[in-house]
Each structure stands twice: as structure tokens, then as C-alpha cells.
Amino acid sequence: MAAFGATMIRAGRRFLSSLPALFGVLVFTFLLMRVLPGDPAVFFASGPNAGKEEIEIIRKQMGLNKPVPDQLMLYLYDVGRGNLGRSMMTGQLVTKDLRERLPASLELTFTALLIALLSAVPLGVLAALKPGSVIDHGVRLFCALGVCVPTFVSGLLLIYVFYYLLGLAPDPTGRVDIFTTLPPSRTGFLLIDFLLAGDIEGWWAAFRQLILPALSMALFVVAPLARITRASMLVSLGSDFVRTARSVGLPWWRIVVTYALRNAILPVITIAGIVFSTMLGANVLVEKVFSWPGVASYALDALLTSDYAPVQGFVLLMASVFVIVNLLVDILYGIADPRVTIG
Amino acid sequence: MSVTGTGRPLSAVAFLAFLLAAGSAQAQTRAETLRYVTGASVNTLDPNIPGTTREAFAVSLCTYDRLVSFGRKQLNGKWVFDLDTITGELAESYDVSPDGLKLTFRLRKDAKFQDGSPVTADDVKWSLDRAVTAPVLGKAQLLTGSMTSAEQFKVIDPLTFEVTLPKPDKLALPNLATVYPIIINSKLAKEHATADDPWATAWLKEHTAGSGAYKLETFKPGEQVIISRDESWNRGSVAKPASFKRVIIQSVPEPATRANLVERGDADLVIDLQASDVQSLEAKGKLKVISTPQYNAVTFVAMNNQIPPFDNINVRRAVAYALPYDDMFKAALFGRGAPLFGATWADGKPSSGAYPIPQPVKLDLDKAKDFLKEAGLPDGFSTTFSFNVGQASTAEPMSALVKESLAKIGIKVDIQKLPDAQMSTQINEKKLPFFTEGIVAWLPSTDYFYRNFYTGNQRWNYSSIDNPELVAIAQEARFEPDKEKYEDDGRKLNAIHFSVMPQIPLWQPNQDAVMAPSVEGYTYEFHRQVDYRDLSRK
């Protein structure tokens, strides 16, 4: 317990030390958005009669009539008070938009990562146990295919087969069937909220909506996870302690799972952490194809229209998520291998 | 994490409760619900907010009433809005004084806002004052109908309202039927007005305070809007509430998914599919496809008349004869639209005073080469051709053909694909020499087009043309009461357009509405969105 407390203190210190990086990201994104060509005021003033006057109104509304340093100071002041500005695109506060959309992205990404880990780790272990065998080549082929097919292609393909042809999947429009009544929002994760509300039918509806996009995301990341499991298992299986374990006649599953896999899992956790952060931000295509109301598609739409506030808010959010995930990965290290300390 | 911990025992109890309650849950009446899917999204409930999307316009037409509305007519067997028939909406009837300077509206006695309070002339006055005074979109629109100041609006008695015009403007009445001059429950709105925001723009953006056919049920910007009908509403053409009980407007960004949804019968109506999907759905014959040329919109190849070499009239003519019109029409739109090329004008004179009319241009490379020689550029030149990402599905194949064809007369074209915000900025700054864009007019009259799209140093004058004669005729035509003289002016303007060739009209793309066979009443509206009040199910 004392060791755990020490870990938490170190984790807290580590978190504080990442704050300057977050600040840097904030300022950098702010400046980058203003350097990009494209004037949001002109874009949003596109009614059939929008003229100079209207452009000026929007510019004033967005605060773009002030010099850039002033804008930056105002923005930092607002961010300090927890206000990320207002999106022109949705007309809502960015914090509200992100708060509504982040759980959708997280739920999808967690499910995808879970599917990916549950399939990648056993596949990697199998491949490592019989290197060069048919199984190994089979896993390699599967991984290669997963990586080769872009997520939107696999997504569209899954929709075509399971929704359009077979009619097994529900229509790919968002997190839940439009005719289902939503549960009261407690966590924002629909699967959890439905359970809390005791609505099993709703839970099933949400689960059915989730499975196809999660699968197409998982397919893409199975490869790195399975490959890294295989490589690291090979090293671990060839090591002295496994040889010793074998020589004393321990059952094979104990050797593989308790000794080899536990030692091989560190790099897998690292990769899983990176994969998670990447998936959360980069899976805009899956979100688009499945009309998933997540943060990535929100940020892309904002970027295309030069809607500054949401893009900046999104980058800040992603940077924070990245910091937190890295921290979690470090803590998990400590659990997987007590020799590792963070600091 | 503690949430999942406590969730388990809770959910077990709840599951039992659910089993007991199962079966009492009522199924939604799907047939009475219209599910409309779109690639765009609704971003405000008040159409007046700068930055309002077109989907938001459509919602506001159902949640708010206006004084008057457009009728509809058949054009080549399809229902379209009719600019010349204006019927009362909140107004029971209206009069235009003989000199055309006074419009008098008598309001319906039974009209009520959705909170139950009656609609009065004071509400009308407050709403129209807001449209011309507040920093809202209505201002620029009502200006085109000579309505600029609150002094022009007068309350005669609680049910009579009067508009005074400085000139007999033909567009004043139609302007009151457009999207912006919504009639707002002024008492309700004033309660939410602040010193900084006397017109309650912030509150109205997220709340409705109207008397429209539908009430707002849920509004999730960027995802969905659900509206349900007001049973007491009677302002339509048949004095009955709207036909659909509920309308779900849902954002589905991927066009292929929208096509799947409507084909499987899960969605009832979609208007923004890709041309290729529309064609295949039409060929399958299971769905109803209503294709209406957007007769108030035009797609152009525009040239900036101020930037060399496009400042040379012969260069512009050369380009006009070097475009492979038929191929472009097929590649970009799959032929789904009304072409504006390949016409023959008897004696070289415009066939009509309407705008736009098909131009007497076609692909003729020899002629194009001659024009280039006359321009002093026999070996051609290099330029860029730009389009925005949002229009890539039609503009991309089209630009490839433009590039290929212009290469044959020595013009080297680099294709530039610009993000939408960047494209509009560059157009506004007049930096693009050669590009494709579209225009649309809510009130499509010839003078309106020429005044807004061919005049002044402003964004919508894509070609940056500066022709005093054209401006003079267009201004004069605006207040011309005589129909024949107006037609004459239109012909003159069209003749100038062809001889100066500021930009090249290509076509009017179709609005392809794909719907379940049971959906009826679809009408092409001036705002190019669906008016959900028009629709019913067989």
C-alpha cells in the first residue's frame, strides 16, 4: 500500500511536470490556426446576401477584430476559467460540445481496444509458440490485411454486408437507434447509462450500434499489437527463466501465461497506450462512416471551416488525454513489473 | 471506476423490474414519423444568426410562421415554389395600395404562439424591427425589398399591420416570405433580452418562440433535431395541421450511408446524395426520385476580369469555346441538371429576358485558337483552376476535363483544391483568377441576379466585372413596373453578358430528392431544402 501511495505521488508530480507541455500545445495551436489561410468570418457569412457588414459582425463576434496578441491573452484568460470559446459550426460552447462527444469517442475506442487486445494477444502468443508454422503465417497474413485495408473501407464493407445485404446490424447512424429513448445521462457512456437505468433493451440497441464501428477500428490496430506480442513473447520464451521453468516441469500454460506473457506484456502495454491515443483522435473516418458523434469528426468539420475554437479545444483535449494515458501506462508498468518505477 | 462497481447490483434489480414492465412499452408510430437524413447539420434555431446553415433554415420554416408564404406551381410536371403567388400565412389577407407604397396585413384572429398567447401586430412589429435593426441576417435580405428601418413598420390595431415603402418595390412582399422575417413571440423573447442583447439573439439561438406548424422536441446541434406537430396550427394551404406527427432531422455525414438508409427504408427522404448513387437508386426503381433543376441556382466557370490574362475579352471567349461542355456535364452531374450551353440564339440575340438562359457556346477548338491569337497569346499561358473541397464530387472530374481540353489550345492549367474557408476567403479577396463556383438567389428575378452577382467590388461578383451600362440597366429594371419593358431590359442584360463573357454559366444542377414511395407532396423550395409541412404519407 505504501508502495502504491508512493506511485501515486510520483504520478501526480509527473502530471504537474507535463503542464508546461500542455501550455505550449495551447499557444502553438492558437497561433497555427491564425496562420492557416482561410478566414472563418468569410466562410460563415455565406447566406445569399452576406456582404461586408455581415463579415464584420462575425469577425467581431469571434473576436478576430483585435490584434493577435490580445486575442491570445483573452483566450488564455478564458481557458484558465474553463471556457474554451464558442463553436460557430454548432453554435454551442466548445466545452459543452466536447463533453457530449468525448464519451462517444471514448466508448468506441475502449471497445475497439478491448476487441483488439482480446484478439491480438492470443494471436501473438500463438504465433510466438510456433514460429514459422502455418499458424504464424496465418496470423501475419491476417495482420497484413488488417493494416492494408483503411478503416473507412472496412467500415463501408461491414455496413454493406451486415446492414445492407444481411440486415443483421442496425442502421449505421450514431450511438443508438433513433427511436430508442435515451437513458438519463450519468456517465455519458451509453452502455453504462443504459445499465444504470435498467433498460436492457436499450443496452442491447446501443451495443448493436457499437459493434460494427468498434470492429472496423479494431481490425486496423490488431496488427501492431499482435506483432509486438509475438516479438516480445519470442524473446521471453527464449529466456533463461522460461528454460528453467520448463526444466523443473511446470505445466505449459503456467510457463506461457504466468512467466513468459507477464514478462512480455510491457511493450504491449506501451503500444496499447499509444494506439489508444491515436485511435481516439485519428479515427475520424470511422466516425464519419458510422455517423458517430465523436470528437474527431467534430474537429475535422471545424478544421475545414476554419472554426478556431473547436479545433483549439480539441487539440488541448487530445494533449490532455495523451498525458493521462501515458501516466496510466506508467502506473500499469508498475503493476505488471514491480521493478519498474516512474519518476 | 466506482460507477461500474455500484452499477452491477443496481442493474440486476433494474433488470427484474424491466422484465415485469416489458410489453407495456409502446412502439413508436413509425408511419406518422418522417425521418430525414442529411450530410449537413442544424446549428441554430433562429435563422437570423450569422453562420446559419441551410438545414437550420428548413427547421425555422416549420417552427416559425411568417406573414406570407410562397405558393407552388408545376414546372415540367414537378412541384416548385412560385414566386408570383403569395399567400397569407399569419396574415389572413393583405392589400397592396394602388401606388405600391403601402402593404397592409390583416392577421388571423385564431393564431396563437406555441405557449398559447395570441399573435398580435405588436409581435409582428417587434419581429420585423428586429430583422432590420439587430445584427442579424435579415437586414441584408430585407434591404433587397426596400425595407431598412423600423419606422416603416406600423401597428394599426392589434390585428392590422402596415409596411410603408419608399418606392414601389416588387420584391418587398416576396421578401417577407423568405426565411429571415420570422414572427417571434415578443413577450417571451423580451423576457430573455439583456442590455447587451436587446433582441435576445443569444436566447433565440437555442430556443424557439414561434407559432409554427411544429414544436421543438430535441435539438442536438450537429447530430439531430426532432420536431413534433402543433395540432392547432392552421396556417397551411389547407388550414389543417401538418401531416407528419413527428419529423426527425438527422445528420449522417457519409453519402453512401445515406443512400443505404433510404434504400433499406430506414430513412424516408434525402436530398443530398451523390449523383452516382441517385442514378443507381433510380435505376433500381424501388424508390421515388424527384429531380428538379434548381432553377434559382447556377454553376459557373468564373474568370476574374481584372487579373491578366483574363482581363482580355478574347481570352475569356477562347476559354468559353474550349470547354468540353457535354463531357463535363456527364462527368460531374451524370447529366442530372439543366444545361446552360449549346443553345442557338436566332440572329445572335438572347432568346429571353430571363436569367439564366442557355448560352450559344459549344466546344469549338478552332474558334478558341483564333480568339487566343486575337488576344495576342497564340501559344497560350499558364493559370490555376480552383474549386472547394465541399464540391469535390462534382468539381474534381470537371476540373480534370477543363485541364485536358484547355491544354489542346496551349493553356496550361494547374488544379487547386482548396478547403472551403480558404476558397471563400480568396474569392472575397479577389485573388483567384479562374475557378468554379455556384450562386443561388431566393428571389430569382433577372435584375436581382445582375445587381447581386455582376455589380460592385464584392464577394458575389465572382468575375469582378465592372460594366456601367449593365449596372444602369439592372438598377432601372428593379423598379420597372411594365412587364414588357422589364423583359426588354432582361434581354439587353443577357446580350451584354454574352458579349462581355465575364464568366461562363454551365448548368443548373438538379435537386435530387430520393424518398420512400409512400412520401408525397415534395416541393422544390426557394431555400433548396425540404419544407416538411409540404409532405405527407400515403
- Asked if residue B529 and residue B451 are part of one domain, the reply reads no
What grid cell was written down for A68? 493577435
Instruction: Give the domain range for residue B243.
Output: 29-64+212-287+516-538
Alpha-carbon dihedral A130, A133, A138, A139, rounded to 10 degrees: 20
Residue B325: per-residue pLDDT: 95
Residue B87: φ, ψ to 5°: -110, 160
B246: enclosing H helix or E strand: strand B246-251
Alpha-carbon dihedral A173, A174, A178, A182, rounded to 10 degrees: 170
Residue B222 with chain A: CB contacts under 8 Å: 89-90, 97, 293, 298, 301
Q: Which CATH number fits domain A102-278: 3.30.70.3420, 3.40.190.170, 3.40.190.150, 1.10.3720.10?
A: 1.10.3720.10
Question: Which A positions 18-47 lie with beta carbon below 8 A of chain B?
Answer: 36-40, 42-47
Residue B6: per-residue pLDDT: 39
Residue A2: per-residue pLDDT: 59
- Chain B: give the shortest CA distance to residue A20, in Å: 28
- Asked if residue B244 and residue B197 are part of one domain, the reply reads no
- Asked if residue B198 and residue B270 are part of one domain, the reply reads no
Strand partners, B81: B72
Question: Which A positions 76-105 lie with beta carbon below 8 A of chain B?
Answer: 88-92, 97, 100
Residue A13: per-residue pLDDT: 82
Residue B15: per-residue pLDDT: 44
Whichever domain contains B261, its CATH number is 3.40.190.10
> Residue B16: closest CA among chain A residues belongs to which residue?
A198
Relative to beta strand B102-107, strand B224-229 is: unpaired
From the list A50, A178, A196, the residue facing B10 with the nearest CB is A196
Grid cell 435584375 — which residue?
B447
Q: Return the residue in A53, A90, A295 with the most chain B beta carbons within 10 A, the one to mutate for interface testing.
A: A90
From the list B135, B260, B426, the residue facing A159 with the nearest CB is B260
Contact: B43, A57; criterion CB under 8 Å: no
Residue A53: per-residue pLDDT: 72
Is B129 a residue whose pLDDT tops 90?
Answer: yes
Residue A200 with chain B: CB contacts under 8 Å: 15, 18
List strand residue ranges (DSSP E) for B279-336, in order. Answer: 288-293, 297-303
How far apart CA B297 and CA B439 sit, in angstroms, is 6
Contact: A49, B11; criterion CB under 8 Å: no
Residue B351: per-residue pLDDT: 87
How far apart CA B270 and CA B290 sit, in angstroms, is 11
- Asked if residue B255 and residue B304 are part of one domain, the reply reads no
Q: Which residues lie below 8 Å from residue B260, measured CB to CB, with a gap of 6+?
A: A159, A160, A163, A164, A171, A172
From the list A55, A291, A301, the residue facing B254 with the nearest CB is A291
Residue B253: per-residue pLDDT: 85
Nearest CA among B360, B356, B355 for reference residue B342:
B360
Burial class from Cβ neighbours inside 10 Å (0-12, 13-18, 19+) for residue B166 reads exposed
Contact: A291, B424; criterion CB under 8 Å: no
Contact: B51, A173; criterion CB under 8 Å: no
- Asked if residue B244 and residue B382 are part of one domain, the reply reads no
How far apart CA B235 and CA B314 sit, in angstroms, is 54
By the CB < 8 Å criterion, does A72 face chain B?
A: no
Q: At B458, is the secondary structure helix, strand, or coil?
A: coil
By the CB < 8 Å criterion, does A196 face chain B?
A: yes
Residue B397: per-residue pLDDT: 93
Residue B46: φ, ψ to 5°: -105, 115
> Residue A46: closest CA among chain B residues belongs to which residue?
B51
- Asked if residue B376 and residue B311 are part of one domain, the reply reads yes
> Residue A198: closest CA among chain B residues belongs to which residue?
B14
Residue A160: φ, ψ to 5°: -60, -45
From the list B260, B389, B442, the residue facing A48 with the nearest CB is B442
Grid cell 483585435 — which residue?
A66
How far apart CA A195 and CA A201 sit, in angstroms, is 10
Nearest CA among A120, A110, A216 for reference residue A169:
A216
From the list A50, A53, A90, the residue facing B43 with the nearest CB is A90
- Chain B: give the shortest CA distance to residue A58, in Å: 7
| CA A224 to the chain's CA centroid | 16
Q: What is the DSSP letter of A254?
A: I
Domain count, chain B: 3
Residue A197 with chain B: CB contacts under 8 Å: 14
Residue A298 with chain B: CB contacts under 8 Å: 222
Could you tell me the pLDDT band of residue B123, with boundaries at 50, 70 and 90?
very high
- Asked if residue B474 and residue B396 are part of one domain, the reply reads yes
Whichever domain contains B456, its CATH number is 3.10.105.10
Q: At B140, is the secondary structure helix, strand, or coil?
A: helix
Residue A1: per-residue pLDDT: 52
How far apart CA A28 and CA B255 sit, in angstroms, is 35
Strand order in the sheet with B91-96: B91-96, B102-107, B160-164, B153-157
Could you tell me the pLDDT band of residue B25, with boundaries at 50, 70 and 90?
very low
A vs B, Cβ pairs < 8 A, gives: 173
Q: Return the residue in A178, A182, A283 with the most chain B beta carbons within 10 A, the one to mutate for interface testing.
A: A178
- Asked if residue B531 and residue B420 are part of one domain, the reply reads no
Contact: A167, B44; criterion CB under 8 Å: no
Residue A274: per-residue pLDDT: 85
Whichever domain contains B134, its CATH number is 3.90.76.10
Q: Domains of chain A: which residue ranges?
A: 1-89+305-343, 102-278
By the CB < 8 Å criterion, does A298 face chain B?
A: yes
From the list B14, B222, B452, the residue facing A293 with the nearest CB is B222
pTM of the model: 0.83
pLDDT digits (tens, 9 = 90+) for B32-44: 999 999 988 888 8
Burial class from Cβ neighbours inside 10 Å (0-12, 13-18, 19+) for residue A240 reads exposed
Q: Which amino acid is at A306?
A: S
Residue B411: per-residue pLDDT: 93
Residue B3: per-residue pLDDT: 37
In-domain check, residue B5: no
Arithmetic mean of pLDDT over chain B: 89
pLDDT digits (tens, 9 = 90+) for B344-368: 998 888 989 999 999 999 999 999 9
- Asked if residue B434 and residue B303 are part of one domain, the reply reads yes
pLDDT digits (tens, 9 = 90+) for B227-240: 999 998 988 877 78
- Asked if residue B486 and residue B440 are part of one domain, the reply reads yes
Q: At B500, is the secondary structure helix, strand, or coil?
A: helix
Query: Domain end: B170, B187, B210, which one?
Result: B210
Residue B80: φ, ψ to 5°: -135, 165
- Chain B: give the shortest CA distance to residue A73, in Å: 23
What are the residue ranges in chain A where pLDDT is below 50?
Answer: 343
Residue B518: per-residue pLDDT: 93
Grid cell 509458440 — which residue?
A129
